[in-house]
Every structure is written in C-alpha cells, then in structure tokens.
C-alpha cells in the first residue's frame, strides 16, 4: 500500500512538471518576434494615466499621443532607447493633458517631427498653448477619410473626427486611426465615446481590426458591444495608470471585452506592451499578463485553497498507505 501512495505522488509531480514545461513553451513562443519580417512594431508605452503609442515601421514612424506632462521624461527615455531621431507623424488625438502633455517634451527635443496631425479642437489650458505653439507650422487637420502611407505595406486611415467637428465634447472629437499592415489592422481609438463609435459605424467605415487600443483608458462610456462586434479584435490594450482616480478601466468595459473572447492587456498591469506583425499574424512580446475578470486577490485566495487541499490530500494518502 505504501507503493500506491508513492505512485500517486510521482503522478502528481509528473503532471506538475508537464504543466510547467507547457507554460515555458507557450511563453517562449509568445516571446518570439517576427525579426526582419516585421512590417510594424507598436509600443504601447507605460506613461501612467494617459496614452503614448509609438508605431515603428520600415519606412515612416508615428507617435500617437505623449501621455501626461509628468511622463515627458520617461517618454523621451523610451524614444531614445529605440534610437528615434525622426518622427514623421505626431498625432495629438485631442487637447487633454494626459495625451498632449508629454508631446511638449518631444516637440521641444532634438527629434525631428515632420507633421503634427491634430483634431483641431482648441483649449484654454497652459499645456495646450505650449503644445500648439511648438507644433506651429506643422499642423495638419485630421479629417475622416484621409489616408497616409508609412511604408510599402503599412498605411493608416483617419476614421474620426469629421470636419467641421461634429461634437461639443473633446473626447468624442478624438482622432481615431485604423492602421493596416498587410492583412493585420490596429485600431487606435483615442478617448472616443459611444457617440464617436456610433458616428463611425453610421458612416459605414471599416473598423475590423486584430488589435484594439481601447478607447478612453477603458471607460464605461466607450467600447459598446455593437462597436466591439464590428471591430472583432483578437487583442485589446488598455492604457491606464495604476490606481488612477477615474477607476479606469471600468469593470463593465473589461467584461464586454472578455465576453467577446478578446485577450486584454493593460499598461497598469504589465507596463509597456509591445506587439508586432509580419502582416499575417500578431506577435505579443515580453509575455505580458492578460487582464482577468477576477481581481488578483480572488485568484490568489483560490490558489491558496487549492494548494491547502492538495497538501491535505497527499498527507491523507500517506496516512492511508
Ligand atoms: Zn485620456
């Protein structure tokens, strides 16, 4: 009977070893990038509560927003680490500080910026006047339907706003871009709202994308079920600060994404998220932790209960042996 207990223990250890090996294989395959075959690499920088996304192609590069002013130095550090000396398109989705604050540092730096794509909405804040005076002479008004080429196989389309601006609210007038790289698309939704989503869908625009930069840091007032059905993403990225005062991302939005079977990543959970594509599939780099429906505390408690159960079970087996 002693042998029976030992065999059980061996089986448990073999099973755990298999699980461990499988997790290594899965994480290794996720870490494998597309190397020279990459058409585009997208960096969703961790800038705390805000957005800053760098789109790196074999041709022209683009920076979508710059995070808040206090993240300006961190943003410059990220760009320097990538040896960025020229940005063809700086996109300022709307005039809020958590999007244009860090752009002031970029526009003030030695990085050559060719064009600043802007929604056209003015603001009375100090950060806006700093931004707009540095951007002077480079501003292009973003308008639905515009198309820009970044490289042979990479281009992007402006889905929002329409000109003249359709809404009285800055978020709803956010620039929304759909980047196409071969057969793979990324949708960058800025701080768009239900209104903006409805406007894009009513206009019959193609929003289908494998990767969605979730609108407005995962706010409950964006990413409607209807919009999500049309985008039908495989991956979603939420850019938000740890313990931010807005409660972003809101649980309803995370639930809507998870119910659709989307793999969700958050900068508040994993820091900078990096994805690349060869035009066929999306590679997620660095093995970030997917956002789960349950708070981490609940998951830890469940694991603890399971481990305790296992320990008692093994002790009982030994005793019965
Ligand atoms: Zn924002």
Cα 34 to middle of ligand 1, angstroms? 31
Say what the pLDDT of residue 14 is: 43
Summarize the confidence of residues 188-192 as an average pLDDT: 98
- Does residue 146 contact residue 121 with C-beta atoms inside 8 Å? no
Cα 68 to middle of ligand 1, angstroms? 9
Say what the pLDDT of residue 27 is: 35
Task: Give the chain's domains with CATH numbers.
Answer: 37-290 (3.60.15.10)
Q: How far, in Å, CA of 64 to CA of 188, rounded?
A: 8
Say what the pLDDT of residue 34 is: 66
Residue 30 has pLDDT above 60, yes or no: no
Structure confidence by residue, pLDDT tens digits, 44-61: 999 999 999 999 999 999
Q: Dihedral of CA 237/98/138/199: which sign?
A: positive
Q: Is 75 helix (H, G, I), strand (E, B) or coil?
A: helix
Structure confidence by residue, pLDDT tens digits, 240-297: 999 999 999 999 999 999 999 999 999 999 999 999 999 999 999 999 999 997 655 5
- Does residue 200 contact residue 159 with C-beta atoms inside 8 Å? yes
Residue 305 has pLDDT above 90, yes or no: no
Cα 61 to middle of ligand 1, angstroms? 22
Which of 257, 180, 270, 273 shows the shortest CA–CA distance to 222? 257
DSSP 8-state secondary structure symbol assigned to residue 264? E
Q: How far, in Å, CA of 24 to CA of 19, rounded?
A: 9
The CA-atom distances, in angstroms, between 193 and each of 168, 181, 199 are 12, 25, 10
Q: Is 195 helix (H, G, I), strand (E, B) or coil?
A: helix
Say what the pLDDT of residue 13 is: 44
Q: Is 224 helix (H, G, I), strand (E, B) or coil?
A: coil
Cα 99 to middle of ligand 1, angstroms? 6
Q: Is 117 helix (H, G, I), strand (E, B) or coil?
A: strand
Look-up of token digits 């961790």? 46
């Amino acid at each position: 009977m002693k042998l029976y207990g030992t065999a059980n223990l061996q089986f448990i250890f073999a099973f755990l070893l298999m699980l461990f090996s499988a997790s290594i294989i899965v994480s290794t395959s996720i870490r494998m990038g597309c190397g020279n075959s990459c058409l585009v690499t997208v960096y969703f920088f961790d800038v705390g509560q805000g957005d800053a996304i760098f789109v790196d192609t074999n041709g022209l590069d683009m920076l979508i927003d710059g995070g808040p002013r206090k993240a300006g130095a961190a943003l410059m550090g990220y760009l320097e680490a990538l040896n960025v000396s020229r940005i063809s398109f700086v996109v300022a989705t709307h005039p809020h500080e958590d999007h244009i604050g860090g752009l002031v540092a970029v526009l003030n730096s030695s990085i050559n910026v060719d064009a600043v794509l802007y929604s056209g909405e003015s603001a009375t804040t100090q950060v806006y006047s700093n931004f707009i005076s540095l951007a002077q002479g480079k501003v292009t008004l973003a308008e639905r339907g515009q198309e820009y080429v970044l490289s042979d196989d990479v281009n992007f389309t402006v889905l929002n706003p329409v000109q003249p601006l359709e809404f009285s609210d800055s978020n709803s007038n956010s620039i929304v871009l759909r980047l196409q790289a071969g057969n793979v698309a990324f949708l960058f939704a800025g701080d768009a709202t239900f209104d903006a989503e409805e406007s894009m869908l009513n206009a019959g625009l193609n929003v289908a994308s494998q990767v969605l930069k979730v609108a407005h840091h995962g706010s409950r007032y964006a990413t409607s079920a209807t919009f999500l059905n049309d985008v039908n993403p495989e991956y979603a990225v939420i850019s938000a600060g740890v313990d931010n005062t807005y409660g972003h991302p809101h649980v309803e939005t995370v639930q809507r994404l998870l119910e659709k079977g989307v793999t969700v990543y958050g900068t508040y959970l994993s820091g900078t998220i990096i994805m690349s594509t060869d035009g066929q599939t999306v590679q997620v780099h660095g093995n970030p932790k997917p956002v789960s429906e349950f708070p981490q505390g609940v998951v830890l408690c469940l694991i603890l209960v399971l481990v305790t159960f296992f320990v008692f079970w093994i002790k009982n087996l030994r005793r019965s042996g």
